[in-house]
Amino acid sequence: MDTITPREIKERLLSGEKLNIIDVREDEEIAEGMIPGARHIRLGDLPMRMSEIEQTGEIIMVCRSGRRSERACEYLEHMGFSGLKNMVGGMLKWHELE
């Protein structure tokens, strides 16, 4: 499974790139903020909402620390998705960049 750092994502967003980011955190965690442009699909909802994930060649999965998003990558890869990347360190590391 490929990984990507919060810094790489932030730099790409600042350069104007549109990224396919899926945030798998719970609703109460989302209330604390999301990466601009990310789509919220809770980890537990992935099986029912997979069809909402655009297969763009790169799909970046995000959670609080990187563990749930890693599981999401593994699940989606098993279901035939490709181009998955896990944001290492999750939103904890993202907030350190602010």
Catalytic sites, residue numbers: 63
C-alpha triplet 10, 27, 90: angle, nearest 5°: 35
Radius of gyration over alpha carbons of the chain, in Å? 12
Cβ–Cβ < 8 Å for 50, 76? yes
